[in-house]
Structure 1
């Protein structure tokens, strides 16, 4: 089963529903086999066969991606393990330019003859496509890097951790929630290893070993008298790191509410706290609609950043290439060309970054062999740039690609995908406690929940897992049915203050969908706790 089919059938792209049994992605594989790498010399030899075959058939450019995608999924419910799956998908994708047009072919039977035939097919497709061209493909210059490698910085390979240790952790999480009074609890651990080899006619041979993991759960408690229930998802974040993510080193209290870890996670502790939260949520009071100052924690704000900043600054969306499926963008080129479009207040600075350690989109080189970097998208509240790949760079007059090309499989065509897009922390010393003590009427929001945003990524509504009332500089109890509404420009212009780098954390998504056929990518968004003044809040439980 292909990853795109998996997403379609399960709906996991929403990030809100757990799987009771995980469909197979690729073929089943023993974990011992998964830990055996493919010889780099063999990958280079296969890549050269494809590149030489493409050039001999008339390609003016060709690149090859040999991908080995390993996945491990462990899902549990209450006192049982529901599913353990180790899968592998392995094959080659060949992309070429011939007669000024793109062509692509992919295979998973990697004999010398099949590789050469696939390269010839890619060239043939390019030549047929060229008959429909309005103008030829224009690639930004890119030098070859020779033979180089990159690996996710990590202390422990999650695939090497014994299955029993991982299932024991999940079951202990479930047990803690049940002992705390939860009626139902699901927990899961997802691990991904992308072993990607890129080669091109420009002289690059790039070997990368990329790791990601995501521990998560949902706790549910029912009020036996009313029959109503409340849930709380984990406050973990999927991360581009190893199993050390589950071994926190240092913690800090968030205003006495509960413990937050700096890019580490204590799953058992969070489950215990979540069980207390769902009990409190059952008796929490409904929010009164109106204008509030919002103090938004990174566990919630990352998603608002993703939807209202990350997506609208994708250049292909701006140009209308995604209009049929994922929508367009209000950040049209005229706003960028004016050099004065007021996206947010002066404290708002957004950076695109493919290099941040621990982030989901961090790699050494993108899927076009471009070395990754960072750059400004919003500077002092003004729109200054977008996200591009090699055949888009000339549209903005850029001398090189920004390295935003990605494919979710060897069988998928690489195209423009979101880098990590993050809100820079404030420069002055500031903590969430400082924000709270200066807030008369506000709400302190944690955790991602339901949301809605229009096709141009402008008008939106977001809710949270935990919404604490803030009154006269003090934190009160939990509020329910809270959702904040705004438009992107109004919201980011209401930004009043941002905590400093000590509070900076990342959130992210394993399954960001885009393209036709649909592909998924993993991306993080960093920020510190941020204060927004006078934002409209509605009560989602009220009926008109």
Structure 2
């Protein structure tokens, strides 16, 4: 999938047709009951991993890591009053990565036996030795102490695969009914669930067993004015999360009221799909008669569900070290935030901009105990007081920037794909002073409040960009002054983040995320979250997306 699919999977109504092509939702279609069957015992995984480790070392490898993976998924698609598709999938196999003659080699197999593992390991070494003929410099890994036998599990309360499919269908259809009752002409809804059961072993002395869960509810509501033929849509304001089915069981303490006069509600660690679908239908109808924005300079107040996408595109990708070094140039471009640019100590943003990378953040999509190189995950600064202080890097990159430790952000989408650098959870830290969204809006004379994601465009260096949204409200003299439409803002990354004037406090902090962030050749996807509180940016250029040029 392309990076534009980060906005959300469009055309949910066609779910029955395109499901097999969705990354992470392949494998063999199975009965839902199979998703609850236990995988291999840990002792068996260790024995299989040792077979691969020993075979690779005997063939001449100086480093080896083994990943045995069982990937489970389930998706449910509905439209209006009917179910369109329900599919459960399972994929199982092993990937083996080695260094031989100073060069990487990789092979994978679905023959998860001692003989099959040994054969794949020997093939990986042969590939490494062949690659060594064109390798200019030997691979240099940051040191990594083995962890021994350890485990980690997403701290879920309810395993989504244990919830009867009927209950999930009933919830989606109930959300559809709420939308139709409140003015929607069409509505599509879907629920995606993933469980990664991953076992990692390496010659460093690590044997790591992990059980990772993710969930994503989504819908799209459309209202049509039959007389004019005009239509407007409103997407769900949910976020994909690293949680179990408890996310679909709304709790009052997880709700955050949006600005007065909008009816919007934000959600932290649980989501009220019926409430959101009800409001979505009303807002889709309201959008039909909303005034079109007048282009110009506005102060923007951006909801976390919207700002997460801007963080992802203008900071998350821009600070991936492999992209900075040019490794992604052929596929997706480079980054303006080069090593030379960083050395000049130029301001990336205002002093209100503090960005951290965090692979341990509870509820986030990227939360794991250890990455796919066996590195224990943690938190580190990317931007501090507006200055770029670090990048995202893995074991074979750390020495390039004079460091001797990986950040623990190496990931593969499946057992059959090689692991490589992926984006960590990249988040804007909340403000330290108490400030609600209404407090922030009260200080805006002429502005726009934006919630939800929309279309976007950003150049190959992550510099010049344009972002839309889902719903827009005019702000006049410190108050919400009604819905408007056709809004997008144009800026460059440095100009935008230097215009950051205020960030709401921790009480408003929420996560946004993507199940399907694409990268690499061959392309892989990964799941990542971005947290923030509502944030104000002063004097940003806003265009009218409906106006014709010429």
TM-score tier by shorter-chain length is over 0.9
Give a deviation string over 1:296-342, Cα, whole Å, max 9, x none.
0001000000000000000000000000001100000012223x221
Residue correspondence of structure 1 range 325-344 to structure 2 within 5 A: 325-338=331-344, 340-344=345-349
Distance 2:266 2:381 in 1: 28
Determine the structure 2 residue equivalent to 1:37. Answer: 38
Determine the structure 1 residue equivalent to 2:256. Answer: 252
Distance 1:117 1:406 in 2: 24
CA contact (8 A) 2:141 2:396 kept: yes
Determine the structure 1 residue equivalent to 2:8. Answer: 15
Give a deviation string over 1:244-299, Cα, whole Å, max 9, x none.
11122222322332222323210000000000000100000000000000000001
Q: Cα distance, 1:129 vs. partner?
A: 0.5
Determine the structure 1 residue equivalent to 2:161. Answer: 159
Give a deviation string over 1:479-509, Cα, whole Å, max 9, x none.
1100011000000000000000000000010
CA contact (8 A) 2:349 2:386 kept: yes
Distance 1:71 1:225 in 2: 43
Distance 1:271 1:13 in 2: 21
Determine the structure 2 residue equivalent to 1:84. Answer: 86
Which of the residues 306, 312, 317 maps onto 1:311? 317
SS at match of 2:453: strand
Determine the structure 1 residue equivalent to 2:111. Answer: 109
CA contact (8 A) 1:350 1:421 kept: yes
Q: Cα distance, 1:459 vs. partner?
A: 0.2
Distance 1:138 1:176 in 2: 57
Determine the structure 2 residue equivalent to 1:295. Answer: 301
Distance 2:139 2:30 in 1: 40
Distance 1:302 1:11 in 2: 14
Q: Cα distance, 1:14 vs. partner?
A: 4.8
Residue correspondence of structure 1 range 14-163 to structure 2 within 5 A: 14-17=7-10, 18=12, 19-21=14-16, 22-23=19-20, 25-38=26-39, 39-163=41-165
Residue correspondence of structure 1 range 529-544 to structure 2 within 5 A: 529-544=534-549
Tell me whether 1:483 sits opposite 2:477 in the alignment.
no
CA contact (8 A) 2:7 2:454 kept: no
Determine the structure 1 residue equivalent to 2:222. Answer: 220
Give a deviation string over 1:219-240, Cα, whole Å, max 9, x none.
0011011101000000000000
Distance 1:20 1:348 in 2: 39
Determine the structure 2 residue equivalent to 1:351. Answer: 356
CA contact (8 A) 2:7 2:453 kept: no
Determine the structure 2 residue equivalent to 1:381. Answer: 386
Give a deviation string over 1:116-151, Cα, whole Å, max 9, x none.
111100000000101111110000000100100000
Which of the residues 275, 297, 317 maps onto 2:281? 275
CA contact (8 A) 1:361 1:523 kept: yes
Task: Report the TM-score when normalising by structure 1.
Answer: 0.97
Q: Cα distance, 1:114 vs. partner?
A: 1.7
Distance 1:237 1:293 in 2: 25
Distance 2:536 2:7 in 1: 26
CA contact (8 A) 1:335 1:383 kept: no
Number of equivalent positions: 536
CA contact (8 A) 1:342 1:382 kept: yes
CA contact (8 A) 1:240 1:358 kept: yes
Determine the structure 2 residue equivalent to 1:183. Answer: 185
Q: Cα distance, 1:16 vs. partner?
A: 4.3
Distance 1:149 1:158, change over 3 A: same
Tell me whether 1:394 sits opposite 2:399 in the alignment.
yes
Determine the structure 2 residue equivalent to 1:236. Answer: 238
CA contact (8 A) 2:72 2:195 kept: yes
Which of the residues 497, 501, 516 maps onto 1:511? 516
Distance 1:14 1:269, change over 3 A: closer
Which of the residues 241, 264, 268 maps onto 1:262? 268
Distance 2:303 2:5 in 1: 24
Distance 2:343 2:257 in 1: 45
List runs of 5+ in structure 2 lacking aligned partners: none
Give a deviation string over 1:326-364, Cα, whole Å, max 9, x none.
1100000012223x2210001100000000000000100
Distance 1:14 1:288 in 2: 25
SS at match of 1:464: coil
Distance 1:502 1:11 in 2: 31
Distance 1:427 1:14, change over 3 A: closer
CA contact (8 A) 2:303 2:450 kept: yes
Determine the structure 2 residue equivalent to 1:528. Answer: 533
Give a deviation string over 1:413-451, Cα, whole Å, max 9, x none.
100000000000000011110111111100000000100
Determine the structure 1 residue equivalent to 2:458. Answer: 453
Distance 1:31 1:153 in 2: 22
SS at match of 2:470: strand
Q: Cα distance, 1:11 vs. partner?
A: 8.5
CA contact (8 A) 1:217 1:234 kept: yes
Distance 2:199 2:256 in 1: 40
Task: Report the TM-score when normalising by structure 2.
Answer: 0.96
Which of the residues 192, 195, 206 maps onto 2:194? 192
